[in-house]
Each structure stands twice: as structure tokens, then as C-alpha cells.
Structure 1
Amino acid sequence: MTAFDGEDLVNPEVESEAEVAFEGALRPKSLAEFVGQRKVRGQLQLLLDAAAIQSRTPDHILLAGPPGLGKTTLAMIVAHESNRPLRLTSGPAIQHAGDLAAVLSSLVPGEVLFIDEIHRMARSAEEMLYLAMEDFRIDIMVGKGAGATSIPLDLAPFTLVGATTRSGLLPNPLRDRFGFTAHLEFYETEELVQVIHRAAQLLAVEIDRESLREIASRSRGTPRIANRLLRRVRDYALVDGRGASLEAVRAALELYDVDELGLDRLDRAVMSIILERFDGGPVGLNTLAVSVGEESETIEAVVEPFLVRIGLLSRTPRGRIATKAGWAHFGIPRNADALFGDDL
């Protein structure tokens, strides 16, 4: 069975409306339903309960971690369990202080404002947010030059929930204004089994535990990927007509080019370039990106962290170097003089 190149399940460049709707339907509605992130759930529950007892808005919350671990879902749960309305926006959509002022001035008392990829906001908007988070007030500049006047505008009390995949890019003054920062971790296989089992029940997919574990083991510790793979397995089983057996799961994932470690087409392309064209490295990020025809940001933020985490690749000051495990996984004969990332 040949690999299917029409869709990148693990690292899709653009999510379709159907994918977004699918993931939305599977989102848990409460902390009790949310699987994994046990410590974060307990901390959030305490924060929300304390706010409810004191009849105040919850403290501002920063959710940090890789994509697909549930940051947006947790923001929705915060609003739902606080019985507050939710406003969603993103950092790239806020490119001027005026964009943020328009959002903040229209918030109703107690509203939860979710800003995804908050580290990508314009600097002028970040500086406006400092005062808004601390004093629920912003200063609006009217006029230009020497005649410009600052007019203070009071805001309704609100809770800001910021999500970021790169917390190190947030300026300290902004990070310090969050009352609680949660760091989301990758999921263990058994936790992903629970995630997929819940999704399978909602999708009316009959699947045994061994098949659930097979999907979970290839999901890169990420619920979003696990649910996406389940959907493709469901489609394969529907067309094949033999149900979601272990054989069908393996055949479906082979068809969509997801191997036993969870590597996809782009992961293998990166490793192939390093191993075969550069004798295992070192290779600079920009050279690697050009070689595989992808943006360097995609390689650095999506592909590289996973390859490093599972021990196939190492980052060094000189560039990216394949480890002995990387050579072994791809079964490529090693040059006797090759460097190994795990020996550095």
C-alpha cells in the first residue's frame, strides 16, 4: 500500500473548516471531562473556586505549551465553569494598539478574553495591555503632536487567558501580570488512550483497546493529532468495511504515511536530508529548510522539537546532528567518520 501525499495529518499547514468543527465537537466542556494535565487541572479548579467564593473575576491566566495540548479547550472551560461569556481573538489579529482598544472597550463585566498566540501581538498593543490587566483601564491618545491628549477609559473587569507556544518571547512585564501560569506537558500513551476512547464513543466508532493504543503510540503525545488520526482510521474502516481492527488501524496509518514512532512525511524528509545528503550533520536550520522546501519556522517550531524529544536529532551550536538512534531508525549505513548528536 502506497503512502498518501494529499494530506499531512500530523503537521497540517492549514486546518479545514471540517477539521475545526470536528475538533470543536470533541472538546470537553468541563475540567472533570478534560483528560490529562492533572496538575494544571487541579490548579485551575482551585483558582476558579476561590474566585467564585469571593464573587470576583478569576485572575489572568497564561497557558504555555506546544500546539495541540488543549490550551484553547482550557480557555473555553474557564469561561464555562465561571459562567462567563467568552471572547476569542489571536495575537496576529492585534497589530495595532487600536485593535486591542476596540476589543477591550467592548467587553462586558466578567467576560473571559482569550488571546491565542499572545506572543505575536504588536508591541504597542502589549504595552496597552499592561495597564488593562492591572488596573482595568486604558489610555486613549486623541490628536497628534504637541496637542495630543491622553484620555483614560475605564474597562469592565475581565479575565485574560493568554495562550502561547513560545513563552520565552513574551516580555517580562506582560508575563508578570498573569496571576497564574500553566505549563502544559505532552501526554503519556495511556492518557491518549483515554482521549481517543472518549472521542471514539462520541463518533460511534467501535474500536478495541489494542487498536486505541496503536493510534495513541503514533500521536506524538498530542491529543489533537490523536483525534485526527482516529478520524482517518474511522474513514478507512468505513470504506474497508471490516471495522476499526488493529489491522485496519495499521493499514490506515501506513496509507497516510504515519510510522510507528509518529513520524510523518516532513519529519522523514528532514531526517533524510540530514542523514543522506549531509552525512548526519551538522546542518544549519536555514540550509535544512531550503533543502526540504519548508519555512525555517516550521522546521524549528514543529518538526525539530519532536525529533529531539524522541532522540533522533540533537541541536548543537554548529547545527542539527542525527543521533545513533536516528541512523538506526532509518536503517541507513553510517559513515565511519560521521558525528553523532548523542556523543556531544
Structure 2
Amino acid sequence: MVTDFNDVDGEDLTNPDIIAENEVAFEGALRPQSLSEFVGQTKVRGQLELLLKAASMQSRTPDHILLAGPPGLGKTTLSMIVAEEVGKPLRMTSGPAIQHAGDLAAMLSSLTPGEILFVDEIHRMARSAEEMLYLAMEDFRIDIMVGKGAGATSIPLELAPFTLVGATTRAGLLPNPLRDRFGFTAHLEFYDAVELEQVLIRAARLMNFEISAEAVKIIASRSRGTPRIANRLLRRVRDYFLVHNAVSDTAAVDAALELYDVDTLGLDRLDRAVLRGLLERFGGGPVGLSTLAVSVGEDSETIEAVVEPFLVRAGLVSRTPRGRVATPTAWEHFEIPQPNVL
């Protein structure tokens, strides 16, 4: 099947001006606008649908929602869908941007009735802001301190009813008082290959990019169970086809992904560096995290938060009390003979 860079109206999508317009439109259209359009997370979608419908039937604001899960699984998209489903405005911010209680107070006091407040990486909020949020979530009010020392007084400020949608990649870092105030907590799971194929087919259609089913399967298999990665790889493959005027077959897709250092398991350059270091320098382990990080020139936090979760989930690395250990699958993937263990 040949890549088609003309849309249904016959516009030349190689024209720079048309490309710029379509890319902007694509970024907005790529995110689903409703729960029915959202691919994957079937259980979470059903739970959210029930929560939102019940709130609508009772003419009240929906309960506060906590979305927990690894990056790229759709937490921000779901927050937008919540606002769309209830027909209310969406206010977006992030935990690192709220470093003082005053920042949060200014934001909360400006919310309109029923507005959706989305806080990404909510576990990174300042502690003083978290404590102010407790009262705001339960009673829709905050206490403003006026003055200092013995003469300081607390003035209560009533807030318009709102729904807080918090997103976190580290749910364990949320303090219990904050986590318990969410009426619903959704745990997003990694996508399987079939769901990722549906994501890719939809994205390819929005890009006016014809691609074979076999090529879609290859991209899905290398996307690490994450829609964000799948869409990014699809765009890089599209770019490769455009530049090389390639035919949409599996060989061309393989060449494009190889160019961007994505191997058959979805490992990137850093993943392979960590695994090769573990296999070749430390004989497969066990080795401590900090030692492994120094050996590849990265900090241990990056290895632990970015690289290791996928390697463990893919069955390439095991975490033991003595350190990280390569599994037989890792030796096999790099075609390195596994040493005999006495």
C-alpha cells in the first residue's frame, strides 16, 4: 500500500503552509473528545461514565478524581474528556507550578461553579498548598491568614463547587489525607498490542496516512504499551516515508524505527546501554543501581524512574535485595552467551 499525502479534497500535503495548518489541527484532533472515542482502559472508562452520569442526574459536581499510572497512558486526555462530558471549563496546571499556598488560593478563588481543575503531577505540590487543598476539596472553602504573629487572623473564603482531577505517576508519594479525599481513584494500565493498533489506526486516519495492517502491528509491538510512544513512532515513520517516498511495507517500517534506535522490543539507546552494561561489565549482576547508573553516565534517578520500569515489565531485568540482575531473556535478546552460574 502506498503512502498518500493528499487529503480527500486533493490538497497537496507536501505544501509547507498546508502541513503547518494540518499539524496544528492534528495535535488537537489526536486526543479523543469523549469516553466513547477513548481507546483502551475499558474498566476505567466504565467507572468514569457511571460517576459522571450519576452526578449529572443529581445536578451536582462530580466527585474529585485521581488518575494514577505511568506517563503517556492518557491521564491528561481523560481530564479533558471529563470537562467535555460535564460541559464545564477546564483549568490546567501542574504540581511543580504550585509552590506556595497563595498560588493555590488565587487559583481556587477564581474558579467558576462546576469548573474542572486539572493538576498534573499532583504529588509534587508544596506541602503548604496540599494542606490548603484538604479543606477546599471537602468543604469548598479555604482559610486566608491575614497579618503575622499574635495579631494574625484567619478569614474563611467560600469557593464555588469544583471538581479536582489530579494526575500522578507516583501515587505512593501522595500523603494519605490528600489521597483519601478523592472520591474516585483510577489506576491506568499499560495497553496491549490490539489496543495500540486501534490507537495507531485512528491516528493514521487523522494524518491522512495510509499504512498497512502489518506495519501497524510492528509499530504497536515496539511502543512499550504506551499510546504516547505509539503516536510518536507513527509520526517518525510517516516522516521516513515522506522523505524517502517509500512504500508502506514492513521493511520500510523496520528501517525507519532502526534509524530512530528503536529495536524489536521497543528498547531505545539508553535501555540498551543499561542492559549491555549489566551484561558485559557486570556479568549479568547483581549490581547496585548507583553503580549501574555511573557505568552508563546517567544519574540513578533517571535509571530508576525512566528505564528500569519497562525493563522489569518486559522481563529483562529483575530487582533483588543484592541489586539488579539480567534475566535469561536479556542474554538471549543481545545474543550473548549466558555464563554458567555455580
- Normalised to the residue count of structure 2, the TM-score between the two structures is 0.91
Alignment of 1:6-25 (within 5 A): 23-25=27-29
1:134 aligned residue (119, 138, 145): 138
SS at match of 2:233: helix
1:11 aligns to what? none
Asked if the contact 2:61/2:161 (under 8 Å) is kept, the reply is: yes
SS of the residue corresponding to residue 113 of structure 1 reads strand
1:41-79 deviation digits (Å, cap 9, x = unpaired): 011011111111111111000000000000000000000
Deviation at 1:21, TM superposition (A): 8.2
The amino acid that maps onto 1:39 is: K
Provide the rounded CA distance (Å) in 1 between the counterparts of 2:240 and 2:260: 10
Residue 270 (str. 1) matches residue 284 (str. 2):
no
Q: Distance in 1 between matches of 2:65 and 2:117?
A: 10
In structure 1, the residue matched to 2:9 is none
Counterpart of 2:86? 82
Which range moves more in the overlay, 199-208 or 144-153? Answer: 144-153
Q: Secondary structure at the match of 1:100?
A: helix
Task: Give me the whole-angstrom Cα distance separating, in 1, the residues matched to 2:298 and 2:164.
Answer: 34
1:249 aligns to 2:249 (yes or no)? no
Tell me, yes or no, if the aligned pair for 1:283 and 1:318 is still in contact at 8 Å.
Answer: yes
Question: 2:240–2:246: 8 Å Cα contact kept in structure 1?
Answer: no
Confirm whether residue 97 of structure 1 aligns to residue 83 of structure 2.
no
Aligned position for 1:310:
314
Look up the SS of the partner of 2:278 in the other structure. Answer: helix
TM-score by length of 1: 0.90
Structure 1 pair 325–235 and aligned structure 2 pair: CA distance change class (3 A): same
From 59, 62, 71, the equivalent of 2:63 is 59
- Contact conserved, 1:199 with 1:227, CA < 8 A, in 2? yes
Deviations 1:189-223 (A, max 9, x none): 00000000000000000011111101000000000
Provide structure 1 residue ranges, at least 5 long, that are not aligned to the other structure.
1-17, 339-344
Task: Please identify, of 315-324 and 113-122, the stretch whose mean Cα deviation from structure 2 is larger.
Answer: 315-324
Following superposition, the deviation at residue 20 of structure 1 comes to 9.7
Query: Match for 2:234: what amino acid?
Result: L
Q: Secondary structure at the match of 2:164?
A: strand
How far apart are 1:24 and its partner, in Å?
4.1
Residue type at the aligned position of 1:129: L
Asked whether the 8 Å contact 1:206–1:243 carries over to 2, the reply is no
Is this contact kept in 2: 1:132–1:138, CA < 8 A?
Answer: yes
Contact 1:233 1:244 in 2 (8 A): no
- Counterparts in 2 of 1:80 and 1:247: CA distance versus 1, 3 Å: same
> Matched residues in 2 for 1:24 and 1:279: separation?
48
Distance 1:127 1:142 in 2: 17
User: Is 51-60 or 236-245 further displaced after alignment?
Assistant: 236-245
- Contact in 1 for aligned 2:26/2:206 (Cα 8 Å): no
Q: Equivalent residue for 2:194? A: 190
Cα separation, 2, equivalents of 1:113 and 1:86: 6
The question of whether the paired residues in 2 share the 8 Å contact of 1:205 and 1:244 is answered with no
Letter in 1 for 2:69: G
CA distance in 2, matches of 1:138, 1:288: 47
Which secondary structure does the structure 2 equivalent of 1:31 belong to?
coil
2:36 & 2:102 partners in 1: Cα distance?
A: 38
Paired residues of 1:51 and 1:57 also in contact (CA < 8 A): yes
| Partner-residue secondary structure (3-state), 2:50 | helix
1:152 aligns with 2:144: no
Q: What is the aligned-residue identity percentage?
A: 79
CA deviations over 1:221-253 (Å, ceiling 9, x no partner): 000000000000000011111233222111100
Change (3 A) 1:282 1:20: farther
Quick one: which of 196, 200, 204 aligns to 1:200? 204
CA distance in 1, matches of 2:68, 2:256: 32
Pick closer, same or farther for the CA change 1:277–1:215 going to 2, 3 Å.
Answer: same
Aligned to 2:185: 181
Alignment map for 1:161-240 (pairs within 5 Å)? 161-240=165-244
Separation of aligned partners in 2, 1:216 and 1:333? 29
Pair 1:162–1:253, CA change in 2 (3 A): same
Instruction: Select between 85-94 and 95-104 the one with higher mean Cα deviation.
Output: 95-104
Would you say the 8 A contact 1:30–1:77 is kept in 2? yes
CA distance in 2, matches of 1:122, 1:260: 41
Residue 292 (structure 1) aligned with residue 292 (structure 2): no
Counterpart residue type for residue 291 of structure 2: T
Query: Quick one: distance in 1 between partners of 2:59 and 2:303?
Result: 46
The CA deviation at 1:19 is 9.6
Aligned-partner Cα distance in 2 for 1:19–1:94: 31
40, 45, 50: which one aligns with 2:44: 40
Separation in 2, partners of 1:115, 1:129: 12
TM-align CA RMSD: 1.6
Distance in 2 (CA, whole Å) between partners of 1:232 and 1:242 is: 13
| Greater Cα shift, 287-296 or 18-27 | 18-27
The 1-side partners of 2:149 and 2:25 are apart by: 48
